Structure 1
């Protein structure tokens, strides 16, 4: 598929010179290549407030995130969740409300949340945040308020590399058919629908779903089922690169740890699972395809270990993230910024000749 007229050519952002940060009290470390390791901008001035330094640097930082996939701001001072809100405003234009939720999170500030409240012993498979949703955040901004005593790394993966590694026949199959997401709420597993939609008003849920093309079905016992399709790949809004971007692997029951997977499949039929994915036409995704995709994601990861006050800017299209298990108290905060609709950037396969 050719990029739209007047849009940047694929990889254009990679060829732009990085914004100059010379003369500022920071040092920039750019690892070789364009792997999943973030570009590191480290303060060399003790006590330098990130909320002060980042003012007026949004364009620079967004360009660097597009080039590298992620930018780590390290060694700055961040004085809690409220100060982090100011950093988010400076870095990416303000935080979005977390709606159509999938992960348990606690709101600790104005649209600032704990990264996840899943138990410490659980690891989280790498994914693009909210890529199951018709409305997604372009950027994630993480804040290492309290790193874990042991473990708790955030694996990062280069979505460009993931896209390159996926078997062409698998890509073609998903491009033609898309991804169907089925979610069930209110059966004792997963988040209840009032938490997912941040309202207990059924009419408000229906308005939200109708506005985004999500099908809904109210079921007995105050249960709800939603269904919607999404693209498998999208064009990056800035570079027009075609990137794998979906939750087909993450939301499939077979990707869960074996004890949880076995408990769910014993309790529920396929159609009643809390989350499940299919090809867009409703056909099951083959087991070997899912194994291939899981191996691709895992093979593209590097571990990112947190230090206190780290702030990590992630281009949510160009980098996937996860979490390792950990010991001790850990509190990593997250904000999401700049919503977009994946359907607006969907990669459409060329018609067969």
Structure 2
């Protein structure tokens, strides 16, 4: 299970956390995530102040996003706004690009009636559970993420958070993303990235990519069939290949998903819970749920490969 720490109130929220920093840091380094209870956080503003105060770093804006979400204020966002009956697979945030947050914070403002947990999985454990042959294949070939922005998935305006094409192009150039305007409203991007990373603190290798999530095979069968009937594979909203353009074997991706499932743990949300996650050491996802659910997220300390 995820490590849970009951925080003793000593002054304000940040002071209470800092008073137990050793315990919190130890839990994050060992498990990749920790749930803090007893802080009595009640608003998105308090949560944002908590994140910035504890990590001594501003929260990051969510540009080049891949899922729908809403910004509340000061770079605090809703978690991915997918329908409650949908499962969100394990993933490291922004592992599909070359810049990502080192730490995430989740805050449960409204706990779900049933389900709706945010499961986590240790990325180093996943790396160790994969075969040497598979790791060598993915590391040597690398991965190419391809996205088509249209009315099927997120538009480029939503993903890049701008209406300005020149700003989109500037972001792509800054992040080494190849781009092509198929039409005035249709943008296609691709980016080649490694399948693994070295954790900046532990020095250990972690499995750090979203191949299993971006690949066409991750979609429900009926959605795959519907898309295949409407368009060619190069027009799919999102897909991933090896860097040379060759297909990734679906059996490899199936095995990777099974490994994630075997190593995933979760703790049901309680109102007021704050979960801190080392984004390189730990993936996260979402269980389907019923009833109201409101979990907020903040990202901090940018990192790049």
User: How much does 1:165 deviate?
Assistant: 1.0
1:252 to 2:215 alignment = yes
User: How much does 1:62 deviate?
Assistant: 4.3
Q: TM-score, normalised by structure 1?
A: 0.82
Stretches of structure 1 lacking an aligned partner (at least 5 in a row):
1-36, 344-353
Residue number in structure 2 paired with 1:314: 277
Q: 1:119 to 1:185 in 2, by over 3 A?
A: same
Residue number in structure 1 paired with 2:58: 94
User: How much does 1:116 deviate?
Assistant: 1.0
Partners in 2 of 1:236 and 1:84 — Cα distance?
26
My pick for the range that moved more, 266-275 or 323-332, is: 266-275
- Counting only pairs closer than 5 Å after superposition, residues 249-328 of structure 1 correspond to structure 2 as 249-328=212-291
- Counting only pairs closer than 5 Å after superposition, residues 1-353 of structure 1 correspond to structure 2 as 37-43=1-7, 50-55=13-18, 61-62=24-25, 64-92=27-55, 93-186=57-150, 188-341=151-304, 343=305
Contact 2:2 2:265 in 1 (8 A): no
User: How much does 1:219 deviate?
Assistant: 1.4
User: How much does 1:76 deviate?
Assistant: 1.7
Cα displacement string for residues 124-181 of structure 1 (whole angstroms, at most 9, x for unaligned residues): 0111111001111111100011011111011111112111111211100011011100
Q: Greater Rg, structure 1 or structure 2?
A: 1
Q: Which SS does the other structure have where 1:206 is aligned?
A: helix
Partners in 2 of 1:327 and 1:197 — Cα distance?
31
Q: Which SS does the other structure have where 1:73 is aligned?
A: strand
Cα displacement string for residues 242-295 of structure 1 (whole angstroms, at most 9, x for unaligned residues): 111001111111112333333333333211111100111111001211111111
Q: Which SS does the other structure have where 1:172 is aligned?
A: helix
Partners in 1 of 2:74 and 2:48 — Cα distance?
7
Partners in 2 of 1:63 and 1:125 — Cα distance?
26
- State the structure with bigger RCO (CA 8 A, min sep 6), 1 or 2: 2
Q: TM-score, normalised by structure 2?
A: 0.94
Contact 2:14 2:53 in 1 (8 A): yes
Residue number in structure 2 paired with 1:16: none
User: How much does 1:52 deviate?
Assistant: 4.0
User: How many residues are matched?
Assistant: 304
The alignment yields a C-alpha RMSD, in angstroms, of 1.8
Contact 2:177 2:191 in 1 (8 A): yes
User: How much does 1:330 deviate?
Assistant: 0.6
User: How much does 1:40 deviate?
Assistant: 1.5
Partners in 2 of 1:111 and 1:57 — Cα distance?
26
Cα displacement string for residues 23-64 of structure 1 (whole angstroms, at most 9, x for unaligned residues): xxxxxxxxxxxxxx332211355x975344125766764454
Partners in 2 of 1:106 and 1:321 — Cα distance?
19
Stretches of structure 2 lacking an aligned partner (at least 5 in a row):
none
Contact 1:62 1:91 in 2 (8 A): no
User: How much does 1:221 deviate?
Assistant: 4.7
Residue number in structure 2 paired with 1:7: none
Contact 1:49 1:78 in 2 (8 A): no
Partners in 2 of 1:114 and 1:237 — Cα distance?
28
